[in-house]
A = this chain, B = another copy of it.
Amino acid sequence: MAATIRDVAQASGVHVSTVSRTFSAPHLVNAETRTRVLAVAENLGYRPNRAARALTTGRTHNLGLIVADISNPFFPPLIKAAQAHARARDYHVFVADTDEDPQVEEELIQTLTKQVDGVLLCSPRLSNRAIERLRADVPFVVVNRRVKGMPTILMDVGQGARLAIEHLTRLGHRRIALLSGPGGSWTSGEMREAAAAMDGVDLVILGPNAPTEQGGLAVAAEVIASGATGVLAYNDLVAIGLIEGLYERGVRVPGDISVVGVDDIVSGRLNRPKLTTVAMPTAAAGRMAVDLLLQSVDDGATPTLITLETGLVVRESTGEARS
C-alpha cells in the first residue's frame, strides 16, 4: 500500500489536517513543521491526493478533452499537442470519446465538469443551444464550432474548401461533388457554404455521409451517377474510402475522377494515389486551445475567437478533367 496522509501525520507527530495544509496551503504551516512533514512525506513516498487537494484549492490540475471519435486520425495530433502543452504547464489531459453520439457527449460533459478544471470540446455534435446550457459549470473552449460568447478555435475549412475547388476548376472540372459529413458537424456546414458561394461551379451536394472510410465506400456509386468529375470529400477517410469504391467499379483516380480530401492524415500520404488534401492546423489548434482554456481557468472566460488558416496540399489524386 502507498503511504496515506495518516501515515505521514503519525510519523511527523502532527494532526492529519496539518499534513493536508502543508500541501494545499503551505504558508499557513510554520516553517519547522512544514520541513518535517515534507521530509517524512518524501521518505514514505506519500503523494498528496489530488481529489483531496481539489476540495481545498478548487483545482484538480486536470483538463478534459472530448472528441467525437478517437479512431478518426484527425484527432490524435490535436490530442497529442494538447497533452504535451498541458503537461509542460503541470496539467494532465484526460481524453473521452463520444462515439459521434450527442447524448453520450452531453453525459460525458456533465461527468467531466465536476472532475476537471476545464474542458476542451472538439468538433462537438451537440447543438449550440445544448452547449450553451452546459457551459456554466466549468470553463470550456470549443474547437471547430462557433458558439456565441465562448472561447473558440476555428480551423478555416471554408477557405480550404475554396482552395480545393479553385484547384479543381483550374484543372478543367466544372461539375463538382461535395460529400458532406455528419449532420451536427460545423465543418461540414462551412464547406457547403463556401462551395455554394463560388461562381462557375456546377455543384452537387451528396450526403450526409459517415465521416469514415465506410462512408466513402458507400457513396461511390452515387458519385459516379452524379456525373461529377471532381470531388471534395468531407475528410481524408471519406476520400480514401471513395477512391477504393471507385476503383472497385473500374473508375480510375485521377484518370476519370479527381478527389480532394480534408485533414492531411498520415495514411493519405501513403495511399496510392497519394491524396490531394486540405491541411488542417490540428497541432496548433490543440496548443492554442490549452492556452485559452488555462486563461479561462485563471482569469475567467473571455469570448476570444481564434481562426487558423488551412492550406491545400496537392499530391496525386487530382488531375486534368477529361476533355
Which of A's residues lie within 8 Å of B, judged by CB? 1-2, 47, 49-52, 54-55, 60, 62, 64, 70-71, 73, 76-77, 79-80, 83-84, 87, 92-97, 99, 104, 108, 110-115, 136-137, 213, 240-241, 244, 247, 266-267, 270-272
Contact = CB atoms under 8 A, between A and B. Distances in A.
A244 B93 CA distance: 34
6 contacts: A51-B60, A52-B55, A80-B99, A83-B99, A240-B270, A244-B272
Given A70-B76, A241-B270, A247-B272, 18 more contacts: A47-B110, A49-B114, A55-B55, A64-B94, A70-B79, A70-B95, A80-B97, A83-B96, A92-B108, A92-B111, A93-B96, A94-B95, A95-B97, A115-B115, A244-B270, A244-B272, A267-B267, A271-B271
A108 to B, nearest CB: 7
Contact of A73 (B1, B73, B83): B73
Given A92-B111, A240-B270, A270-B240, A55 B50 contact: no
Contacts of A213: 266-267, 270
Copies of the chain in the assembly = 2
Contacts of A114: 47, 49-51
Contacts of A136: 1-2
Contacts of A108: 92
A115 B73 CA distance: 28
A94 B97 contact: no
